A and B are shown apart, each in its own frame.
Chain A
Amino acid sequence: MGTSLPITDRGGDYGRDRGGRDLQSSASEELGSAAPAAPRKRHSAMVRVTHWISTLAFLALLLSGGEIVLSHPRFYWGETGNVNMRPWLNLHLPSSRDTVPTGYGFVLPDQNGWSRYLHFQAAWLVVGTGLLYLLFGLFAGHFRRNLLPAASDLSLKELGNSVVRHLRFERPAAEEAWSYNVLQRISYIVVIFVLFPLMIWTGLAMSFGFDAEFPMAVRLLGGQQTARSLHFLATIVLVLFLLVHVVMVILAGFRNRMRAMISGGAIPPTE
């Protein structure tokens, strides 16, 4: 099974890629067996599966959410907002509704039907996946082991050093192929425990049915339009995270990091 995955190719791959330096010896030490040794395990199956399902759901949410915004590309604070009121943010984009004064001489086609269907379907998918990941993270020790930063890494000096290393685009230290560095841990924690819950909360707070059941959900945020504005702002932060995340994966070694997140194995570092 899984012959399309690079299981059988790995030995060959890593010989070719890295010219066999140190690799054979370090792999042999680790695994205590003769070459060709399988790459070391990096990410658990649960992390890999939930990562890619979340990726798929996030892209669907981003596409459909962006499309929905086009039907009213203006944002307000408080409970109410409409074309007769002043927005705090006007994206100055063309709109799919001729009732929105955009300044453009054309109206985009209405795509909100499938966009809304897709948005909520993907939202259920990411919430379900998130709950699965949460249970796994709590009970299998993933959060404690892989995400919780070491206390010693949280001093201003250590954090500062890590920021400087990133700004200099220094090659990541060898052990970073096996463990997240402190800035990674902090950003993943913020995404998983702050931004995702905020997206779900602000999303639900826009629902008239949900607000009837849990009025505090929208009251605490300061209103239905505030919920919509925060949903949009949190999206921007998540998109920035996604861009930095992808750039970092490329800089740190796209092939090896992708392999680690797809098949679970990574080539042991040479440095």
Chain B
Amino acid sequence: MSKTSRRKFITTGLAAAAGASGIAVAARVARQHGLIPPDGGGFYGPGETLTYAAQRLLGRHAMAREFSRSEISQNPFANEVDPLGDEFKRLQAASFVDWRVTVDGMATRPGSFSLAELRSFPRSAHTTMIGCEEGWTYIAEWSGVPLSHILDRVGALPQVRYVVYRSIQPDWWESIDMADALHPQTLLALGMNGNELPVPFGGPVRMRVPRQLGYKSVKYVNRLTLTDNLKSFGKGKGGASPESGYAWYAGI
């Protein structure tokens, strides 16, 4: 082995060792700070973790872009949903007076709120864009109860790390971390463009997470669960989307 190739060999070895231990340290720090998403393992884990960690580090509290009322889309697209179930239809026939959102899990005062109660809670509104992972978008004014208000009301325990939310429709559920759950723009949406939230757009209650793609804004929400671990939900990937091959974090 010549002198230069030996030097090259040693330098390369040192660089590789430094790189490997650097990654190990970074992974440990990331885990401690909750920067690894539930789908952070496997072949696509590195890319997912980098995206999630980068966006959380760069702007945990950043606000989704808001638009003026004149920018509200005249032709919003509701997207299609599976045929609505019998339970939904029964509640719909009674104008949703019996619709309830149950909040359970790690809370000191878990409870259940009727639509009328939700409407009486402090309300917030924003004109934001919703976009589908397919590539299409529209802008609407969304109004509803900030999720953070619900978490306050039920006395969410400090160790809660995720909010799992479910639709009345079968197998439709997602989860978000506390950065989004406590974010002021994250709403249990009850209204759209000044009216009650229409059924095709998720009425009577839709989770609205404006910093993520539309598939995190689950329609027909009737249950929230506060947890420190997603492992016990479904296949442990944190939502119906990850279980069907989509990323858990949809900020990109």
Contacts and interface: CB of A to CB of B under 8 A. Distances in A.
Nearest to A96: B134
A207 B62 CA distance: 13
Contacts of B77: 82-84, 99
A102 to B, nearest CB: 13
Contacts of A98: 80
B51 A82 contact: no
A215 B251 contact: no
Interface in A176-220: 206-213, 215, 218
B62 A124 contact: no
**Chain B residues touching A, range:** 35 or more
Given A79-B129, A113-B245, A118 B134 contact: no
Contacts of A10: none
A124 B54 CA distance: 11
Interface stretch (A30-38, A66-74, A143-151, A163-171): A66-74
Contact of B48 (A97, A117, A206, A224): A117
B131 A208 contact: yes
B44 A71 contact: no
Contacts, number: 119
A213 B58 contact: yes
Nearest to A125: B47
Which of A80, A98, A124 gathers the greatest number of chain B CB atoms within 10 Å? Answer: A80
A124 B55 CA distance: 13
Interface stretch (B63-71, B112-120, B169-177): B63-71
B45 to A, nearest CB: 9
A112 B245 CA distance: 8
Interface in B39-66: 43-44, 46-48, 50-51, 55, 58-59, 62-65
A120 interface: yes
30 contacts: A68-B134, A72-B132, A72-B134, A79-B67, A79-B139, A80-B129, A81-B136, A82-B75, A82-B136, A83-B77, A84-B75, A97-B134, A99-B77, A99-B79, A113-B247, A114-B245, A116-B133, A117-B47, A117-B245, A117-B247, A118-B44, A120-B47, A120-B48, A120-B247, A121-B43, A207-B251, A208-B210, A212-B62, A218-B65, A225-B137
Sorted from nearest, which 10 A-B pairs have the closest CB atoms? Answer: A209-B251, A113-B245, A121-B47, A213-B59, A84-B75, A82-B136, A82-B77, A117-B44, A212-B62, A207-B252
Interface of A: 68-69, 71-72, 79-85, 97-99, 112-114, 116-118, 120-125, 206-213, 215, 218, 224-225, 228
Interface of B: 43-44, 46-48, 50-51, 55, 58-59, 62-65, 67, 71, 73, 75-77, 79-80, 129, 131-139, 210-213, 244-247, 250-252
